[in-house]
Amino acid sequence: MKIINEPIKVMAVFHTNGKIEPVKFRLEDKVVRIERIMKTYEENIVGNKRIVFVCLHRGKDIFELKYELDTKTWYLFKK
């Protein structure tokens, strides 16, 4: 996997119980649909709270998305 760490546009579902579920995101003028969220965990680096989503696309491509809670910004961290 290659580290990218760039802000991206993500369509996500924010459930009333507080759960966040990314559905798709835009990568270089292409829409990438998330088939399955394989793993979700929280990280706290120097006071920045982020939720990390390890996602599967087309059964083989793995992407790591991060949602920063304070700024409400999505990042494509690994591709």
Digit-coded pLDDT (tens) for 31-65: 999 999 999 999 998 989 999 999 999 888 999 99
Q: pLDDT confidence of 2, banded at 50, 70, 90?
A: confident
Which of 21, 23, 33 is closest to 61 using CA atoms?
A: 33
Range of the domain at 18: 3-78
With pLDDT > 90 as the criterion, what percentage of the chain qualifies? 80
Total structural domains in the chain? 1
Mean pLDDT, the chain, as a whole number? 94
User: What angle is formed at CA 43 by the lines to CA 38 and CA 48, rounded to 5 degrees?
Assistant: 135
Place of tokens 């390890």: 54
